Structure 1
Amino acid sequence: MQTIWLTGAEWLAVLRIGLGLWWLESWRHKDKAAWFERGTGIAWAADVAGKHRWEFVRGGFGVVVTPRPKAMAYVVVYAELALGLGLVLGLLTPIALAGGLLLNLLYLVLMIHDWAEQGQNAMMALISLVALLGMSWQVWSLDNLWGLFL
C-alpha cells in the first residue's frame, strides 16, 4: 500500500533503522573504560536492583549479574552494538528485534521504581514490537536481499 512518499513496508523499515540508530547511539555514548575497567554501569544497576521492591528483581540480579560483573558489562555494551548493527543493516532482523524488546523490558523492569529512562525504554520496546509484528525486514535489509525470514 502506498502512503505519503513511501509504502507501508518502507515506513516500517524506517522505523527499524531509526531504532537501530538509537541502539548505536546508546552504545556510542557509553564510557567503555568506565564500564569495562571500573564497572560503573553494572555497579549502578546493582545499586538499583539491591533497593528494588520486587524480590524477583533483587534475587535475579544477584544470581545472574552480581557474580560476573565484568562479563555482564561486556554483554550489555556489545549487545547494544549488535542490536544497532543488526537493525540498521537488516541482518537477522527478527532476532535483533526480539533481543532488543527483551533488553528494553529488562531495563524497564529493573528501573520501574527509578527515574531512569522509562519513556525511552517503553518507546524502544513498542517500536521493537511493531517492527517485529510488521515484518520490517521486508525492504531495505540484508535479510530481504538474501531471502531470509520471508
Structure 2
Amino acid sequence: MCCSAVTLKRDFDVCSVCGGMHAMTERRLTCTSKTCSDIGVCAVVWKVFTCTASDTWTIWVNEHGHMRGVVPCSTIHPARVTTMMKQFLAEQDEIGIPPRLMLVNLKKQSQIPVTSRGWPSLKQVQNALKRLRRDQGTTNSRKAVQDLV
C-alpha cells in the first residue's frame, strides 16, 4: 500500500469490525504506483474499515494482482522533514541564514539522525520554512524589526 490513494470514504452507523452500534469508516484505496500505471490501469483495491470506538482496523484486498506482476514498486519516496529538523530550521531561520546554507548545516549536525529515506531536498527545506513562517510568524520581517526598535 505504499503507492495508493483514497478514492472513496463512507461512514456507517453500525460497525462491522467489532459489531457495535457506533460509527465505522470505510476507505477504498486504489493502486497509484508509477510502475503499474506505465503498463495499464491497476485493478488492486484495498478496503480499510476503521472502528471509531476502539481504533481497530480491518483491511481487505481484492483478488486482482498488480499490473506490474511480482516486480516490486520502483517509486522512490521523498525524505521526510522530521520534528528535530524543523526545530533546527526554525533556529537557523531566526538568525537569518538562507535555506541553501541551512540544508548544508543540517547535514553537518551529528545529533539529528538521518531518516531511512535520506536527507530532505532543498525544495522540502524551503517548503518547511514557508510553513514554519506562516504558522509561527517571521522574526526577520520589517514589522518585527520596527517593533524591536
Q: What TM bracket, shorter-length normalisation?
A: under 0.3
- Name the one with the larger helix percent: 1
Which has the higher Rg, Structure 1 or Structure 2? Answer: 2
- Name the one with the larger strand percent: 2
Taking structure 2 as the reference length, the TM-score comes to 0.24
Taking structure 1 as the reference length, the TM-score comes to 0.24
